[in-house]
């Protein structure tokens, strides 16, 4: 709670500073947050009951930014992830915190990409012959029963070369016999409408953009896909460079939530950059198997003693269904609260229709009680009110903004 109150105050101050500077893309003195039609569609789709009525009563807003709302890669349900356009949409939808996944280039500069080696599915690199030739694995078309193969990494090219690429919707067709066919693989629940030429971002550009908006940052140090050290570049230097980008600009560590899946990165920040380490987010993927989930739950007190303050597993691990068919906090969530750790969930709006396989991965522990898309809000309500998560990542921030504003989060 303390964190949230302090963050709220800082948010106010930061916005004030932005007004004086008057900079930033799409800058306006006061932001008219737009949640669009999707939250209304989801509320209408909900089963009758207390929560639906409470949400209906909030239909006319007003809507404003909330730190509960964390833009996951921007707004990639419809906009190419980690692009200027995607971040801009996220801000308009009321995200208080915007994410950049951080990867390094051949010249050891930091850029925003979800995976060090996803350029072949998230950009048009294959349409640039001179750059495609530099890919770790150049493109080989599908043939017969063999799928196409290709792997292009940020570390294959320089930052300047990276900036010449267009961001596209993440997806590929493994059966592609041409580059065009291969690149055409956007999932059914997303759209190519805004996938014309997304403006890819360096980490520095992202910081200046989000800073100009007076919002908060959550950079994720992506696990390298190349052996470290890479051409002399160590994991520690990489972790340090990410933090240095904020220090250089005098950005308060209280506005920065560095994340990593690697405990050693979190411990590095706790030890070497304690002001940033205090807000470091440990992305806990150990929960992905039942045994890993048990181990992870058991390890929480030791992580707390080591200085870890924020845990972030995939949100399925935070709830379960009890004997009465009710969605309730999971053992993991209870253990985290007992250790006085903050919890963040990921990621909303990545599942498409929840009618398919009960929502799949993100709804794994509650799928038996999921039967319509409106159930998204039922799960979110348990996460917000009972697990008391501090925030949630979403591919479409507006869905969260509607809920967060309705319940004063």
Binding site for ligand NAG (CB under 6 A): 173-175, 289, 291-292, 295
Residue among 56 and 191 whose Cβ is closer to ligand NAG: 191
Decide whether 186 or 372 has the Cβ nearer to ligand NAG.
186
With respect to ligand NAG, which residue has the nearer C-beta, 151 or 175?
175
C-beta closer to ligand NAG: residue 289 or 355 = 289
Q: At what angle do helices 375-382 and 397-406 cross, to 10 degrees?
A: 60
Strand, helix or coil at 149?
A: strand
Backbone angles phi, psi at 31, to 5 degrees: -90, 125
Q: Which is nearer to ligand NAG, 48 or 291 (CB)?
A: 291
User: Is residue 381 within 8 Å of residue 327, measured between CB atoms?
Assistant: no
> Of 391, 394, 382, 397, which is closest to residue 63 (Cα–Cα)?
397
Report in angstroms how near the CB of residue 147 gets to ligand NAG at its nearest. 7
Query: DSSP letter at 314?
Result: B
292: left (phi over 0), alpha (psi -120 to 50) or beta: alpha
Shortest CB 22 distance to ligand NAG, Å: 48
Distance of CA 396 to the CA centre of its chain: 10
For ligand NAG, the closer CB: 212 or 301: 301
**Other Cβ atoms within 10 Å of 166 Cβ, number:** 17
Structure tokens at 367: 């799928």
Beta strands in 275-382 (DSSP E): 281-284, 310-313, 319-321, 327-329, 342-348
In the complex, what is the shortest distance from the CB of residue 291 to ligand NAG, in angstroms, rounded to a whole number? 4
> Least distance to ligand NAG from the beta carbon of 24, Å?
40
Q: How far is the CB of 319 from ligand NAG (least distance, A)?
A: 21
Question: Closest distance between ligand NAG and the C-beta of residue 297, in Å?
Answer: 11
């Amino acid at each position: 709670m303390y964190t949230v109150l302090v963050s709220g105050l800082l948010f106010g101050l930061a916005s004030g500073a932005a007004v004086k500077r008057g900079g930033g893309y799409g800058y306006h003195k006061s932001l008219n947050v737009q949640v669009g039609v999707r939250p209304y569609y989801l509320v209408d789709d909900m089963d009758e009951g207390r929560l639906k009525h409470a949400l209906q009563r909030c239909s006319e807003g007003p809507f404003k930014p909330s730190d509960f709302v964390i833009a996951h890669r921007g707004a990639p349900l419809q906009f190419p992830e980690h692009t200027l356009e995607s971040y801009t949409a996220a801000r308009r939808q009321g995200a208080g915190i915007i994410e950049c996944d951080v990867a390094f280039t051949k010249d050891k500069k930091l850029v925003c990409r979800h995976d060090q080696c996803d350029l072949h599915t998230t950009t048009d690199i294959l349409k640039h012959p001179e750059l495609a030739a530099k890919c770790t694995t150049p493109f080989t078309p599908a043939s017969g029963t063999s799928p196409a193969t290709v792997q292009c990494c940020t570390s294959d090219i320089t930052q300047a070369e990276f900036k010449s690429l267009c961001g596209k919707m993440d997806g590929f067709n493994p059966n592609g016999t041409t580059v065009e066919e291969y690149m055409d693989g956007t999932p059914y629940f997303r759209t190519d409408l805004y996938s014309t030429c997304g403006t890819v971002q360096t980490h520095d550009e992202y910081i200046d953009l989000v800073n100009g908006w007076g919002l908060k940052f959550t950079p994720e140090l992506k696990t390298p896909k190349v052996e470290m050290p890479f051409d002399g570049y160590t994991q520690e230097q990489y972790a340090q460079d990410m933090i240095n980008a904020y220090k250089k600009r005098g950005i308060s560590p209280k506005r920065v939530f560095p994340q990593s899946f690697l405990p050693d990165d979190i411990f590095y920040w706790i030890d070497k950059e304690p002001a940033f380490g205090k807000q470091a987010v440990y992305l806990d993927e150990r929960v992905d198997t039942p045994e890993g989930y048990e181990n992870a739950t058991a390890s929480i007190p030791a992580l707390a003693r080591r200085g870890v303050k924020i845990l972030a597993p995939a949100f399925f691990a935070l709830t379960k269904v009890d004997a009465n068919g009710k969605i309730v906090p999971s053992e993991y969530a209870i253990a985290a609260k007992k250790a006085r750790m903050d919890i963040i969930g990921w990621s909303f709006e990545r599942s498409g229709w929840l009618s398919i396989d009960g929502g799949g991965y993100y709804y794994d522990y509650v799928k038996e009680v999921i039967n319509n898309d409106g159930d998204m809000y039922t799960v979110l309500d348990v996460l917000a009110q009972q697990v008391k998560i501090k925030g949630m990542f979403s591919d479409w921030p507006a869905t969260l903004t509607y809920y967060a504003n309705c319940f004063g989060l």
